[in-house]
Chain A
């Protein structure tokens, strides 16, 4: 066992674990952050996606010993109020079915939106290619990312989304927003 001080969602957290422990299990078992999910253990499903210095990374394939002082951001730390444009859009368009993969989808999408404020369907398909959704909510994931881009452009990221005040209908998806 080795002691590590990790920067998780802006705070220093100490853990005492085996050096080969994947970051995923450090988050889940040691730090009780359950947002990153175990799906495959081989980087093939994307359910464990977190950011390392802003880069979407498979936590199941990242030994804790390689994390060092990199900033780890999990879904719990994506936005202090849980109101990142993607989180707002996901609620507004009722994207999830079972919801298990959605944290990974959102973390991957968040990195895409940082680089590309207005991604096309092709951009989305490319960036999200590594994130599986067994319920197959892909249609709404695409719509959710477009909607989040729109929310971000309007600077309406404050406060929990209720769909109220969201733009009146720029695209078909947004016109189908749900009641919370």
Chain B
């Protein structure tokens, strides 16, 4: 591929980032609120920035600023600093930073933690190393060029003289930061740590059951809260039997919180404060609330399906993208396919339910929250309760899963509002039922598709009427419809830009169901719809599905962005992973008996280029077994921690499969019908594919994230394999609703 043509060549990226990073370094102030400040031993410390402390005893403390939600960031980002700092990993201690402006953005969403921070973190480590080397050179009176930093020490004259970082800390602390742009980064071929398999820094605490998670928070004198919201979204409290509840054993208080009309903010409800979690849970069973449910109570999934079906074949409310003449192209196509795809609302269902501990004291608020976006939590508390930002301290705890759910801050503002009425620290714990019924859901959706292929096997026409969901919101004094997170399509979403006659229309159904980002928002369903439909076109045209996709991608290396997301698409990278997936899976070389087959799909999201091949067996009775999944990813020039990276890919594959197989929420009378894992099943170990093969193609490109992009291609790869095995095309989620039997 022609690297020269790419706008972000590695060299250009490094140069640009070095300048930006240097500026950031100089702008950093030292944090005073971190765990690090409390534990570092006294004495001369070297603290070149908010992320690094080196004590005179040699202890190296690195702050992990990003929330850890299972994506492994508490291990991998500090590794980036440690590499350039030239410290041995065994000498490093990692502490979780609180929410602090000194750290910059701390949102763990959109698989951005790595790409946003990688280059700066290299520079943070390299800057500290530069100062330590200078300190050693000054001590010995030799040029810095003759000194070498490695293994937490600086040496000179081939190791004849050596000073440990601990010994150098005091002197390094007196040196001015190097000028922006003067710090030299290591050549990646010299990396000692990046690319090594490193275990999660909290693994020992995890496997020995030590308290780590938000729900494990315990403070002296702490009370326990539950919060009952209306079963229908946004319902307001008319009355509640508060006096009776307050008289129950272990109950300290019960009160109504009026809340706001923000569906993703502080919803109205009733709080019960008790002396233990169980006392609160038990008292809640006796709580009786009369609710004003409003017009949301008229909403149902069945009703939405009817509304969507009535729109089939009709023009959409909005033409998102229009290229060429799709009608004419369909009329003249050699092969035509028309199909409707749909998928339901689903929940995030992290096993740790939402929870937050809050302490309101002397006009200040302290929070302990399992959150992906602590800054947003603080902001929501400020905007809802009027507590000034500087009066809010937020401690980021480990999260028992994120998947996008904890980018929302509803449970944080609930805990804060409750704490304002309690004269003790209080832990709010959602029940599993709260968690499923009051999620900010992945939106359902409907796609009415028509496609045409010419005699040469090229896709010439693509028409999609996408029916999605939107909430009515007040913005700048105006009422307007806002599509849910991940529930609107960009005109640039593949295959937009590739098909000459292309029409994407979108119609949003108004609903009162709160929606939020769910792992790889949008992509997690769009990849399934589009790569299933591409497969239909390939089969209609009698072409091999992989070769058909390569032909669709075409010969050009870079597709410039044109739409609102403006993302250029590096076609060369996608072709490379797709071809490699074919090679690694042995695509086309296997003869499958009926009931077995392979399917392929690819997707670009979150800056990652991923192709997957799935091999399945479907019994005559219709039981699905995924035998093998091959994943080829290009996420840039460096895999920071291969162990963590492979874990993310394996998890994405299984999560993608589980969601495809089982996930479905029904909505009746403006409320979610399902309530627990008994009626909202998750994938279990037995359905895990025995072989998940993870490959990375290194490209000369910036290092990007992996929490999300490996998930989207899984569902279409599996459904395309099901078609190959059985001739049955899956156009509806979940698979548990689809009859896959064959004879």
Question: Out of B204, B211, B218, B279, which one reaches A91, CB within 8 Å?
Answer: B204
Q: Are B209 and A94 in touch, CB under 8 angstroms?
A: no
Against B, the Cβ 8 Å flags (1 = close, 0 = not) of A35-47 are: 1111111101101
Distance in angstroms between the alpha carbons of A47 and B349 in the assembled complex: 13
Q: Are A76 and B208 in touch, CB under 8 angstroms?
A: yes
Given the known interface contacts A32-B218, A97-B647, A132-B682, the answer about A37 and B278 at a Cβ–Cβ threshold of 8 Å is no
Q: Are B197 and A37 in touch, CB under 8 angstroms?
A: no
Check: A57 CB closer than 8 A to any chain B CB: no
Most A CB within 10 A of own CB, among B279, B403, B651, B682: B651
**What residues of A have a CB within 8 angstroms of the CB of B281 in the complex?**
41
Check: A103 CB closer than 8 A to any chain B CB: yes
**What residues of B have a CB within 8 angstroms of the CB of A37 in the complex?**
213, 215, 351-352, 400
With CB as the reference atom, state the residue of chain B lying closest to A88.
B207
Contact segment of B39-47, B66-74, B408-416, B592-600: B66-74
Check: A4 CB closer than 8 A to any chain B CB: no
Distance in angstroms between the alpha carbons of A17 and B282 in the assembled complex: 13
Given the known interface contacts A40-B432, A124-B685, the answer about A96 and B676 at a Cβ–Cβ threshold of 8 Å is no
Q: Are B203 and A38 in touch, CB under 8 angstroms?
A: no
Against B, the Cβ 8 Å flags (1 = close, 0 = not) of A157-180 are: 000100000000000000011111
**What residues of B have a CB within 8 angstroms of the CB of A35 in the complex?**
208-210
**What residues of B have a CB within 8 angstroms of the CB of A92 in the complex?**
199
With CB as the reference atom, state the residue of chain A lying closest to B212.
A99
Distance in angstroms between the alpha carbons of A82 and B209 in the assembled complex: 9
Most A CB within 10 A of own CB, among B69, B71, B90, B208: B208
Against A, the Cβ 8 Å flags (1 = close, 0 = not) of B646-659 are: 01101111110010
With CB as the reference atom, state the residue of chain A lying closest to B652.
A136
Against A, the Cβ 8 Å flags (1 = close, 0 = not) of B291-327 are: 0000000000000000000000000000000000000
**What residues of B have a CB within 8 angstroms of the CB of A76 in the complex?**
208-209
Contact segment of B97-105, B476-484, B686-694: B686-694
Q: Are B209 and A75 in touch, CB under 8 angstroms?
A: yes
Given the known interface contacts A94-B647, A98-B69, A98-B400, the answer about A18 and B429 at a Cβ–Cβ threshold of 8 Å is no
Question: Out of B352, B650, B684, which one reaches A98, CB within 8 Å?
Answer: B352
Check: A115 CB closer than 8 A to any chain B CB: no
How big is the B interface, by class? 35 or more
Most A CB within 10 A of own CB, among B90, B218, B650: B650
Given the known interface contacts A29-B224, A45-B351, A160-B204, the answer about A98 and B398 at a Cβ–Cβ threshold of 8 Å is yes
Given the known interface contacts A34-B216, A41-B431, A94-B197, the answer about A99 and B651 at a Cβ–Cβ threshold of 8 Å is no
Q: Are A134 and B349 in touch, CB under 8 angstroms?
A: yes
Distance in angstroms between the alpha carbons of A34 and B224 in the assembled complex: 15
Check: B643 CB closer than 8 A to any chain A CB: yes
Could you tell me the distance in whole angstroms from the C-beta of A93 to the nearest C-beta in chain B? Answer: 8
**What residues of A have a CB within 8 angstroms of the CB of B676 in the complex?**
40-42, 44
Check: A22 CB closer than 8 A to any chain B CB: yes
Q: Are B278 and A29 in touch, CB under 8 angstroms?
A: yes
Q: Are B207 and A82 in touch, CB under 8 angstroms?
A: yes
**What residues of A have a CB within 8 angstroms of the CB of B653 in the complex?**
136
A-B pairs with beta carbons under 8 A, tally: 213
Q: Are B199 and A87 in touch, CB under 8 angstroms?
A: no
Distance in angstroms between the alpha carbons of A136 and B78 in the assembled complex: 24
Could you tell me which residues of chain A, from 1 to 57, have a CB within 8 Å of some CB in chain B?
Answer: 1, 17-18, 20-22, 25, 28-30, 32-42, 44-45, 47
Q: Are A42 and B650 in touch, CB under 8 angstroms?
A: no
Q: Are B207 and A91 in touch, CB under 8 angstroms?
A: yes
Q: Are B432 and A42 in touch, CB under 8 angstroms?
A: yes
Q: Are B688 and A136 in touch, CB under 8 angstroms?
A: yes
Could you tell me the distance in whole angstroms from the C-beta of A156 to the nearest C-beta in chain B? Answer: 16
Check: A149 CB closer than 8 A to any chain B CB: no
Could you tell me the distance in whole angstroms from the C-beta of A146 to the nearest C-beta in chain B? Answer: 13
Most B CB within 10 A of own CB, among A28, A39, A129, A136: A136
Q: Are B643 and A178 in touch, CB under 8 angstroms?
A: yes
Check: A113 CB closer than 8 A to any chain B CB: no
Q: Are B207 and A98 in touch, CB under 8 angstroms?
A: no
Could you tell me the distance in whole angstroms from the C-beta of B279 to the nearest C-beta in chain A? Answer: 7
Could you tell me which residues of chain A, from 62 to 113, have a CB within 8 Å of some CB in chain B?
Answer: 74-76, 82, 86-87, 90-92, 94-103, 106
With CB as the reference atom, state the residue of chain A lying closest to B648.
A97
Distance in angstroms between the alpha carbons of A21 and B203 in the assembled complex: 30
Check: B353 CB closer than 8 A to any chain A CB: yes
Q: Are B692 and A90 in touch, CB under 8 angstroms?
A: no
Extra contacts, 20 of them, besides A102-B207, A125-B688 (Cβ < 8 A), are A18-B249, A18-B250, A30-B276, A37-B400, A45-B351, A45-B677, A74-B209, A87-B207, A96-B70, A125-B686, A128-B685, A131-B685, A132-B684, A133-B351, A133-B685, A134-B682, A137-B647, A178-B198, A179-B199, A180-B203
20 examples of A-B residue contacts, CB within 8 angstroms: A18-B279, A25-B276, A25-B277, A34-B218, A36-B209, A38-B353, A40-B677, A41-B281, A94-B197, A99-B202, A99-B212, A100-B352, A102-B207, A133-B685, A134-B682, A136-B658, A137-B651, A138-B685, A180-B199, A180-B203
B contact set with A: CB distance below 8 Å = 68-72, 89-90, 196-200, 202-204, 206-213, 215-216, 218, 224, 249-250, 276-279, 281-282, 349-353, 398-403, 429, 431-432, 643-644, 647-648, 650-655, 658, 676-678, 682-686, 688, 690, 692
The 4 A-B pairs of least Cβ separation, nearest first, read A35-B209, A98-B70, A100-B400, A136-B654
